[in-house]
Chains A and B, each alone.
Chain A
Amino acid sequence: MTEAKDVIVIGAGPAGANAALEAAGAGLDVALIDEQPAAGGQVWRAPWPGLERPPASNEAKAGDALRARLEASRVDRRFGRRVWSVTSGFRVDALGPDGNEPVTAPILIAATGAHERVIPFPGWTLPGVIGLAAATVLLKSHQVVPGARVVVAGSGPLLAAVAAGILKAGGHVVAIADIAGPADWLRAAPAMASRPALLAEGAGWTLKILAKRVPIHFRHAVAAAEGEGRVTRVRLKPVDSEGWAGSRKAVEIEADALCVGNGLVPGAELSKLFRAKHRYDRLRGGWIPETDAFGRTSVPALIAIGDGAGLSGAAPAELSGRLAGLAAAHDAGATDGAAFARLAHPLLTERARLAAFADASAGMMALRPAQVAGIAPETIICRCEDVTRAEIDAAFAAGARHVNQLKHFTRCGMGPCQGRMCGDVAAELLGQRVGSREAVGYWTGRPPLRPVGLDQLIGDFDYADIPIPKPAPL
């Protein structure tokens, strides 16, 4: 019961949805698969079905427009489906309401987005501490504020967005701690100014924050989250521009929630699964697949786009999506070379125009090695397996020189999240000891791409129908 398509797109955010629309517009039969019940990705996340709509933001409007275009298109939309296996051919297996659904296509577009990076500190696993990206999910999808007295901390544009979002929803932000200083924002400003609409949006967030007189601690990071059983107090420490704390005095704030994030990491699991060529790019968030301008990876017919192929934000992702859709149409023979070049040209030009903004924004979120170097030995790095920084250092001392070896020595990254939370920081810690991120590599990509319930995976079956292979020789 495997269904055959021309193109499969995994991920229905700005990149994936636009790729699907463009390829379908060229006459291809496209399946668009996403884990969420509606398209939009994280940035244009739809409110959960049945919830009252919040006052429209720019992001909500953009998401609604995209969802309407998909609605009117020929794209085969397969939402609420968890992709767990992708094999060559390509064959994609996704678990949905009716169990496992395989679908095949000769072209695969991976638009799997990013996950968040939290640089660990003592207490970061306490209930009440959540990521900045997780806070945006609460706000956009569920219209829930994270707590009654919220500290918002970390780095990058998500900081202001989350703080403003909480204020807009009627919540109380007791402090903002930004590793960057006003000078960093000013340095980024000329590049940011190349996107007036977004700059205005950022200014809107800032005004909202200023109007509520929220204390902003520039050049501060979280020293610790404290409390019995849940966070009740957040300690902030002054840091330098690289995130290094030294031994200066901390600021203490009473709070019942802490939203903290230090940028995003590309979710390049699919290209890693296929062993495409990757390179480490700190600005783009970490290990990313090497691609051409259209997202074509080193693996034939595997295209990777959007934040999962290197952080660049929503607007460049939309264009990358359209370009990938055009490339898929061309590679499938639905569009000739001349038409492909003609259609691609303005999109490439437009994307180039956005590059300065994307770079400035990614730069604010990039990993600061000194911040990782300053993590205290007893701090948990892998929260699934309770592996501390000291244990990672001990594994280095015991001979671990590659992240896959680190994993064997410590169980770091072996839990249900399979290293999505800790992977970037663990690799950075080992990389700083060994000498480079390139030397320590990245964890081997394997299925399932997300944890899957065995009950769902096996479905109903008769024992007699299990295709048990022949026995080994006696």
Chain B
Amino acid sequence: MSHVHDLAVIGGGVHGAAAALFAARGGMDVTLLERGPLCREASGVNAGTLTMQMTRVALIPYALKAHAMWASARDWLGHDVGVVVCDGLSLAFTQAEEELLTFRAGKRREAGAPIEIVTGARAKEIEPGLSGEVRVAGHCVVDGFANAYLTGLAYRRALLEAGVALREETPVSGVRRETDGFAVETADGIVRARRLVLAGGVWIEPMMAWLGIHLPIKTLINQLSVSERIAPVMRTVVGIANGLLSLKQYPHGTVVIGGGWQAVGDRERGGVELLPERLIGNARLACHAIPALKRARMARAWAGLEAETADALPAVGPVPGVPDAYVCGSVHSGYTSGPYIARLLADHILGRAPEMPLFPIDRLLAPGGAAVN
């Protein structure tokens, strides 16, 4: 009789890794299966932004909790993810953007994010690197960023310390329901567990199909670029009213330009191609906000995948009709909120009452398992 784990987590991004970590710390015998190395997809290549000003309103309470977790990662994770906590500014350059910003910041403030609208002059005091053309800005003191590429190394160490049976480079080809749990099929043989968490980001859709459930997940292909190391040109996280810019300078001097401009690609092939006009557009926006950035050179651009459900809210909770199976992912700005939301799910699995509600997927499924669109 082969070993049966209490829990098998499939998908080693920030959601899967955090769910596995907290379940193991809660006393479970946990295995984590990841087809590549840990956190080498969205969780390792995203812009690392830990902002409230791009987070969906419904997720603000979660993101605030998660921000506090990132800020104290050394304490609870035990390893450094290069987190910097700083002010955040969301800029408006036009009348229309000012209206959009005022409306959106108001909604986020109602949800608990400490955002206040400040004048362009005040914004420039907060961020001396700003352009003089800013009309108003949303200012949030709860902002910052992590060094996303360190996520895998940090979680890897924490998972091993917590005794999680880590199976990297182990693609899963299918999952079968057995009388007392699940048989997870891999090239190295069957891995058995009493419970199952599917945390595959954009690959949650094909994973759910193993259980006979159709949960449509849209794949966003976000373009990013980074400058070479330059002398300090900014000290805050800078965005714009409609969310299509995220900009920050890391302590080692590189500036990461993001904001969700779309590249070419899909779930099967990943981010295949970066579009030059969009790299230029995103860079123009960045240099318009922080003019001194023009002196830098772009060193590299890349793309990362982001998962989105039909209503753009997370898929986190039990899988309807499949006892002991759970899903965890598709969280907008999921890197920011991931550790907290995964901890809530781990609490639920451990039989503890989660501090805040999960996001059950029943709403996304048609009766009988076909999906609602």
Chain A residues within 8 Å of B, Cβ to Cβ? 84-85, 87-88, 91, 93, 100, 102, 275, 398-402, 404-405, 407-409, 411, 414-416, 418, 444, 446-448, 451-455, 457-458, 461, 463-464, 466-474
Contacts and interface: CB of A to CB of B under 8 A. Distances in A.
B227 interface: yes
Contact of B299 (A405, A418, A461, A467): A418
B345 interface: no
A221 to B, nearest CB: 31
A85 B274 contact: yes
Interface stretch (B64-72, B172-180, B190-198, B277-285): B277-285
B157 A398 contact: yes
A469 B260 contact: yes
Given A415-B299, A466-B281, A468-B242, A102 B156 contact: no
A468 B281 contact: yes
B244 interface: yes
Contact of B302 (A416, A446, A458): A446
Contacts of A454: 227, 283, 286-287, 293-298
**Residues of A contacting B: mostly:** loop
B3 interface: no
A451 B56 contact: no
Interface in B300-340: 300-302, 312, 332
B302 A399 contact: no
B298 A451 contact: yes
B312 A473 contact: yes
Contacts of B94: 463-464
Interface stretch (B117-125, B147-155, B207-215): B147-155
Contacts of A93: 276
Nearest to A461: B284
A471 B156 contact: no
Interface centre among B133, B240, B277, B298 (most CB of A within 10 A): B298
Contacts of A87: 264, 273-276
Contacts of A414: 254, 299-300
A408 B299 contact: no
Contacts of A275: 272
A466 B261 contact: no
Interface centre among A409, A451, A470, A472 (most CB of B within 10 A): A472
Contact of A458 (B241, B260, B294): B294
A447 B279 contact: yes
21 contacts: A87-B274, A87-B275, A88-B264, A100-B276, A399-B37, A399-B156, A408-B152, A414-B254, A416-B297, A453-B294, A453-B296, A454-B293, A458-B283, A458-B284, A466-B284, A469-B244, A471-B100, A471-B241, A472-B56, A472-B243, A473-B56
B44 A408 contact: yes
Contacts of A467: 277, 281
B203 interface: no
B185 to A, nearest CB: 23
Contacts of A408: 40, 44, 149-150, 152-153
Interface centre among B37, B241, B277, B300 (most CB of A within 10 A): B300
B54 interface: yes
B235 interface: no
B168 interface: yes
Closest 3 CB pairs of A and B: A471-B242, A408-B149, A85-B276
A469 B261 contact: yes
Given A408-B40, A454-B227, A467-B277, A448 B104 contact: no
A100 B280 contact: yes
B57 interface: yes
A405 B260 contact: no
**Contact count band on B:** 35 or more
B281 to A, nearest CB: 5
A125 B234 CA distance: 30
A472 B260 contact: yes
Interface centre among A404, A415, A470, A471 (most CB of B within 10 A): A471
A468 B259 CA distance: 10
A471 B261 CA distance: 10
Contacts of A458: 280, 283-284, 287, 294
Nearest to B157: A398
A398 B254 CA distance: 25
A126 B108 CA distance: 53
Interface string B41-75: 00010000000001011000000000000000000
Contact of A447 (B107, B287, B301, B332): B301
Contact of B37 (A402, A446, A453, A466): A402
Contacts of B156: 398-399
Interface centre among B56, B264, B274, B332 (most CB of A within 10 A): B274
Nearest to A464: B94
A432 to B, nearest CB: 19
A292 B157 CA distance: 45
Contact of B244 (A398, A399, A401, A471): A471
B326 to A, nearest CB: 25
B222 to A, nearest CB: 11
Given A414-B300, A454-B297, A469 B283 contact: no
Given A87-B276, A398-B153, A401-B169, A418 B300 contact: yes
A457 B280 contact: yes
A416 B294 contact: no
Contacts of B275: 87
A448 B225 CA distance: 9
Interface centre among A401, A455, A474 (most CB of B within 10 A): A474
Interface string B84-119: 000000000110000010001001000000000000
A102 B274 contact: no
Nearest to A92: B276
Contacts of B261: 469
Given A85-B279, A91-B276, A401-B169, A472 B297 contact: no
B132 to A, nearest CB: 13
A275 B303 CA distance: 15
B228 interface: yes
A386 to B, nearest CB: 11
Contacts of B293: 454
Contacts of B287: 454-455, 458
A435 to B, nearest CB: 13
B271 to A, nearest CB: 9
B262 interface: yes
Contacts of A444: 302
A201 B12 CA distance: 58
A418 B302 CA distance: 13
B288 interface: yes
Contacts of A470: 242
A88 B332 contact: no
B297 A466 contact: no
Interface string B127-149: 00000010000000000000001
Contact of A474 (B37, B104, B272, B277): B104
A455 B273 contact: no
A264 to B, nearest CB: 23
Nearest to B252: A411
Given A418-B299, A463-B288, A451 B277 contact: no
Interface centre among B57, B273, B275 (most CB of A within 10 A): B273
Nearest to A91: B276
Contacts of A446: 274, 300-302
Given A85-B276, A88-B273, A453 B297 contact: yes
A349 to B, nearest CB: 39
Contacts of A401: 37, 168-169
A235 to B, nearest CB: 31
A458 B283 CA distance: 7
